[in-house]
């Protein structure tokens, strides 16, 4: 009799241990551990793009998940730094060799955000979405007059004429402006070439649309910058059909959100001595639209 009772208790204990383990796994991962069947990944690219590592890690995870058959790129971004935008574009183009990739622009997918969308085989946008803004910008601030008023001298020792270009401690020279303009023109050409190739637009058409202007989704469709007016649900339906998924697909979202447990644990950890440091560098060239100051 004792053995029977012991066995029942052991089974109950193992059952609740299993349930607790699964629950903890879901809390820690914040993922879709229990979902099965063919999946469609939704990669959310949001806000200003300054660091692409989280997105690159997500793309790697998507590649390594054999259940993921297609990707919807959901864009809510006004753009960002040139390097990360180009890197994401290249990685998504590579991913297209393995699965269908479709872009869906929400409220805004402009400049670098639009650049990334061009990696997809098809772009959806809402009629009122903000897109376009094909161009490059670099901004510099000069404190030279302010320093002169404050009677503050700044000495710079450098190894070449352009080593301190963009320094806030002096105004730009004509040679500085010409040098920066050449850089911007080169990166601008890269942007136009990428859009022209992906959208099938010739040089004359690109000159017409690549003036830094923003467009609504409806205008962008007329100009050939997007393919369809539609929602993210339309994009999911199309990419699911392209991947041969029957029935309603399981959606798995990237980057993975932190679980409530992890957020709680991290919120309790304070690291003294490093607060107030800038988290991102502001120097560089940007595919970025500034709609609202």
Look up residue 148 and give its two tokens.
């002169």
Unique residue bearing structure tokens 């510099």:
140
How far lies 199's CA from each of 16, 44, 87, 220, in Å? 55, 22, 19, 12
- For residue 52, being part of any structural domain is answered with yes
Whether the Cβ atoms of residue 131 and residue 108 lie closer than 8 Å to each other: yes
| 3 state SS of 38 | coil
163 catalytic? Reply is yes
Kindly report, residue by residue over 110-164, the tens digit of the pLDDT: 999 999 999 999 999 999 999 999 999 888 888 888 888 988 888 888 898 888 8
CATH assignment of the domain containing 41: 3.90.226.10
Distance of CA 151 to the CA centre of its chain: 44
Look up residue 19 and give its two tokens.
């349930």
Q: What b/e sequence results for 187-205 when a residue is b if at least 16 CB atoms lie within 10 Å of its CB, and e otherwise?
A: bbeebbebbbebbebeeeb
Name the band, by pLDDT with cuts 50, 70 and 90, for residue 274.
Answer: very low
Length of the chain: 293
Look up residue 255 and give its two tokens.
């980057």
- For residue 270, being part of any structural domain is answered with no
Torsion of CA 217, 221, 227, 232, to 10 degrees: 20
Catalytic one of 35, 90, 158, 163 = 163
Spatial distance between the Cα atoms of 25 and 32, rounded to a whole number of angstroms: 10
- For residue 222, being part of any structural domain is answered with yes
- For residue 276, being part of any structural domain is answered with no
Spatial distance between the Cα atoms of 182 and 24, rounded to a whole number of angstroms: 55
- For residue 163, being part of any structural domain is answered with no
- For residue 151, being part of any structural domain is answered with no
80 Cβ neighbours under 8 A, 6+ residues apart: 48, 49, 50, 111, 112, 113, 286, 287, 288
Q: Three-state SS string across 122-145, please?
A: EEEECCCCEEECCCCECCCCCCHH
| 3 state SS of 8 | helix
By C-alpha distance, which of 9, 247, 236 is closest to 101?
A: 236
Strands 214-216 and 130-132, how do they pair?
antiparallel
Name the band, by pLDDT with cuts 50, 70 and 90, for residue 223.
Answer: very high
- For residue 67, being part of any structural domain is answered with yes
Flag whether pLDDT at 29 surpasses 50.
no
How confident is the model at residue 262, as a pLDDT? 47
167 catalytic? Reply is no
Phi, psi of 280 (to 5 degrees): -135, 145
**What's the structural domain count of the chain?**
1
Q: Three-state SS string across 64-109, please?
A: HCCCEEEEEEEEEECEEEHHHHHHHHHHHHHHCCCCCEEEEEEEEE
How confident is the model at residue 3, as a pLDDT? 56
Catalytic one of 58, 77, 104, 111 = 111
Kindly report, residue by residue over 41-63, the tens digit of the pLDDT: 999 999 999 989 999 999 999 99
How confident is the model at residue 162, as a pLDDT? 84
Spatial distance between the Cα atoms of 267 and 244, rounded to a whole number of angstroms: 43
- For residue 173, being part of any structural domain is answered with no
By C-alpha distance, which of 113, 87, 119 is closest to 194?
A: 119
Kindly report, residue by residue over 66-117, the tens digit of the pLDDT: 999 999 999 999 999 999 999 999 999 999 999 999 999 999 999 999 999 9
Domain span holding position 72: 37-133+202-262+281-288
């Amino acid at each position: 009799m004792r053995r029977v009772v012991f066995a029942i208790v052991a089974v109950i204990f193992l059952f609740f241990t299993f349930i607790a383990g699964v629950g903890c796994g879901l809390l820690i991962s914040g993922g879709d551990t229990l979902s099965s069947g063919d999946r469609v990944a939704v990669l959310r690219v949001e806000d200003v793009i300054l660091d692409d590592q989280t997105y690159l890690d997500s793309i790697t995870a998507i590649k390594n998940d054999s259940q993921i058959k297609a990707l919807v790129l959901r864009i809510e971004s006004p753009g960002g730094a040139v390097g990360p935008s180009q890197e994401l574009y290249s990685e998504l183009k590579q991913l297209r060799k393995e699965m269908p990739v479709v872009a869906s622009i929400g409220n805004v997918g402009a400049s670098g955000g639009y650049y990334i969308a061009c990696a997809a085989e098809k772009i959806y946008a809402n009629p009122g979405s903000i897109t376009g803004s094909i161009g490059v910008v670099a901004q510099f601030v000069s404190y030279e007059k302010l320093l002169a008023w404050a009677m503050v001298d700044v000495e710079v020792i450098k190894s070449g004429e352009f080593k301190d270009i963009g320094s806030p401690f002096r105004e730009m020279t004509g040679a500085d402006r010409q040098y920066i303009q050449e850089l911007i023109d080169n990166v601008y050409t890269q942007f136009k070439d990428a859009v022209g190739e992906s959208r099938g637009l010739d040089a004359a058409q690109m000159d017409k649309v690549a003036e830094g202007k923003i467009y609504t989704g409806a205008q962008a469709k007329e100009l050939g910058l997007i393919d369809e007016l539609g929602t993210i649900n339309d994009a999911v339906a199309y990419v699911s059909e392209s991947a041969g998924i029957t029935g309603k697909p399981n959606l798995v979202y990237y980057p993975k959100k932190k679980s409530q447990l992890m957020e709680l644990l991290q919120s309790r950890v304070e690291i003294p001595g490093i607060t107030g440091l800038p988290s991102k560098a502001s120097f560089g060239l940007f595919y970025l639209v500034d709609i609202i100051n």
